[in-house]
Structure 1
């Protein structure tokens, strides 16, 4: 008898499913750890805090009329672009206990998984903030010398109906800048901030796309090769333990 599968079950998400497609993982994750790699059409995605602004509805309609729809996601963070050249990776599984006890480990797990896949292509990446990049956070993935963001991450948690109150599904997402023009991606995010009357602006020099880190004659099919490598890693990598490690007792 073959050994039980220990990695993630990969789910297919059609291209037309949209930039909130990974939220469909929340239900199947109740049964087993699941993951998906997906792409979507051009647009912008924002957290719910943006949707609460008085100007948001009018700005959203204007951007949609110009071919740049704005979608509101459940996870936190800031504004991010979607579209050609951007690869999304999402993981979801059940945890016992408080989400706060698992959140950091889940971020580190996702960042390590992507970093391991990138190492095959000779790209060194590490988790860190990159001031000036859009949707900056402690668990960006960045390349050094100089530090530039190549992926951003976010989480969402849901209590499981009909289960113990401490049972939650944790979903973590990475937006990976595989290809594209950093100036154009940043300009889209800046245009939204300006339209909403925000003084926040992002610097295109604080991000880069992965294809720019490779010699032109190497890995001509890089985005597809990266996706294949990530699929292999997901199938082989064990999900996190359901229960968080016990906290040390304070000294008497």
Structure 2
């Protein structure tokens, strides 16, 4: 069977919230799929946070203040959601060990977003940015000084009823299109404080993409970026189903 020429773009259910991309896991067993969506204000954490002492109490307290905490399947750290944040996820089936595909799947997602941002004369590079929330090797950042503008994470699932080496890989990007770095960082720090953690994040280690543009382009930027990303998804082919086996380097998250 020939490799597909494009991702099938799925719409997130209206009530899916910040975990909307998990709807991709089932259809991705049959074809490469993608989803672009926005979520209401809140925080999203990996399952490691849910295992912390007092998490249920903190979750209820934050929900009562209008900041629900959702637990996602992918790894990483705490991330805020809300207006001005775009989410993009890709999912497709692979043959072989997840470890052999993890890095190239991250790089594929980052390249797709970088190509879309180049249309706005925003140049990015893949790197960690110490002090940013949910830091990892496959952030997208802008230089001088280095600031994170996209965070990524991924999750893998074996495909029921298929060969044991058949898995779905889902990779997600949180894109800071038009938001307040101080407010987002304060929200993430509030959760760490409430859970008794000593980790703290720095607002000047992230940037809102619209702040990199001329003032007259900023109001319409999130919609313009979403349109550019959708066009990129229509023209950028998914990865091949099977990649050459490579020396595993481990997951970044």
Calculate the aligned-residue CA RMSD, in Å.
1.4
Aligned ranges for residues 56-135 of structure 1 at < 5 Å? 56-135=55-134
The Cα shift of 1:54 comes to 1.2
Equivalent residues of 2:4, 2:238 under 8 A apart: no
| Counterparts in 2 of 1:235 and 1:59: CA distance versus 1, 3 Å | same
Equivalent residues of 1:15, 1:41 under 8 A apart: no
Aligned to 1:195: 194
> Deviation per CA, 1:154-185, whole angstroms, max 9, x where unpaired?
00000000000000000000000001110000
Correspondence 1:245 to 2:244: yes
1:217 match: secondary structure? helix
How many angstroms apart in 1 are the aligned matches of 2:125 and 2:244?
24
The Cα shift of 1:219 comes to 5.4
Higher alpha-carbon Rg: 1
> Deviation per CA, 1:82-134, whole angstroms, max 9, x where unpaired?
00000000000000000000000000000000000000000001110000000
Aligned to 2:180: 181
The Cα shift of 1:4 comes to 9.2
The Cα shift of 1:5 comes to 6.0
TM-score (norm 1): 0.95
The Cα shift of 1:53 comes to 0.6
2:216 match: secondary structure? coil
1:16 match: secondary structure? coil
How many angstroms apart in 1 are the aligned matches of 2:218 and 2:8?
27
1:138 match: secondary structure? coil
Equivalent residues of 2:100, 2:246 under 8 A apart: no
How many angstroms apart in 1 are the aligned matches of 2:132 and 2:47?
20
How many angstroms apart in 2 are the aligned matches of 1:176 and 1:9?
20
Aligned to 2:18: 19
How many angstroms apart in 2 are the aligned matches of 1:39 and 1:14?
11
TM-score (norm 2): 0.95
How many angstroms apart in 1 are the aligned matches of 2:172 and 2:115?
16
The runs of 5 or more residues in structure 1 that have no matched partner are none
The runs of 5 or more residues in structure 2 that have no matched partner are 248-253
How many angstroms apart in 2 are the aligned matches of 1:218 and 1:78?
32
Aligned residue pairs total: 246
Equivalent residues of 1:15, 1:38 under 8 A apart: no
Deviation beyond 3 Å, 4+ runs, structure 1: none
